[in-house]
Amino acid sequence: MPTALIADDEPNLSAELASRLSRLWPELEIVGQPRNGIDALAELGAKRPDVAFLDIRMPGIDGLKLASLAPYVRVVFVTAYDEYAVQAFEASALDYLLKPISDERLQRCIAKLQRGGWTPPDAATLAAACEARETAPIRWLTVGLKDTTRLVSIDDVLYFQSTDKYTEVITAQQRHVIRTPLKELLPRLDAERFAQVHRGVIVAYAAIDRVERDLLGRLRIHLRGHTDVLPVSRAYVGLFKQM
């Protein structure tokens, strides 16, 4: 069964589109209706729908940027603005629907999606797609607290630190929590920008101000503009062998 996500900051418009899709394409399952780009990115990653109907002007992340962050999803832009059409198709959009959308125009879009076929990919294609997705360097992290989801750029991260059940993401101003363990996170980080320096710590090279030895000869990392001091375990001393 094909699945779809509808992202629009106007809940009435989102509900209307969901209702019309249900009527014109009964087999389609709507798996989410987020109201901003940040929540939409989180749901796209978690639910992996076959197609995403994205408004272009949304709070948090606009639809064009969202499409670039989720290249594994077929995108149909749904907007009241015609000036983004060129950018939309440069982003590999499957279709570009201008509000208000007639049933005839929506039906043509559905036919285009259906012509793409919904048969499951063969094992080799699926494995290749999963490998590409899982090895691509992380650019953004979605972090949550209760009912709020935020987007953190990987450029803002000073270091990651494992806790009992979670991983802390530390930026200059805040500390966030994600569920991804360090051992799964490390392969997705750019090795030229991040290094593991301890079993429970990954640090951004750009965040390091200096590395000092304490009285016992142990290395300690001092961060630029931050009071935290990070340990370097023996297994990773070679990163700083010039000392």
Domain ranges of the chain: 3-132, 140-240
164: Cβ–Cβ under 8 A, 6 or more apart, which residues?
none
- Residue 242: its pLDDT value, please? 58
Comparison of pLDDT for 228 and 89, the residue scoring more: 228
Q: Is the pLDDT of residue 133 over 70?
A: no
**Cα–Cα dist 5/50, whole Å:** 8
From residue 219, alpha-carbon distances to 42, 59, 91, 211, 212 in Å are 38, 44, 46, 6, 6
Per-residue pLDDT of 4-39, as tens digits, reads 999 999 888 999 999 999 999 999 999 999 999 999
| pTM exceeding 0.75 | no
Instruction: Supply the pLDDT for residue 168.
Output: 93
Which of 85, 129, 110 minimizes the C-alpha distance to 26? 110
The per-residue pLDDT for 83 is: 74
String of b and e for 43-72 (b: at least 16 CB within 10 Å)? bbeeeebbbbbbbbebebbebbbbbebbee
CATH number of 140-240: 2.40.50.1020
Q: Give how far Cα 108 sits from Cα of 105, 183, 231, Å.
A: 5, 46, 59
pLDDT of residue 118: 47
Architecture category of domain 3-132 in CATH: 3-Layer(aba) Sandwich (3.40)
Is 32 in contact with 43 (CB distance < 8 Å)? yes
Q: Where are the beta strands (DSSP E) in the chain?
A: 3-7, 29-32, 51-54, 74-79, 95-98, 140-145, 148-153, 157-162, 167-171, 175-178, 194-198, 201-204, 208-213, 219-223, 229-231
**Percent of residues, the chain, with pLDDT higher than 90:** 51
Half-sphere exposure of 61 (CA within 13 A, CB side): 24
**Does residue 53 sit in helix, strand or coil?**
strand
Do 3-132 and 140-240 have matching folds?
no
DSSP helix/strand/coil, 74: strand
Place of tokens 């639910």: 47
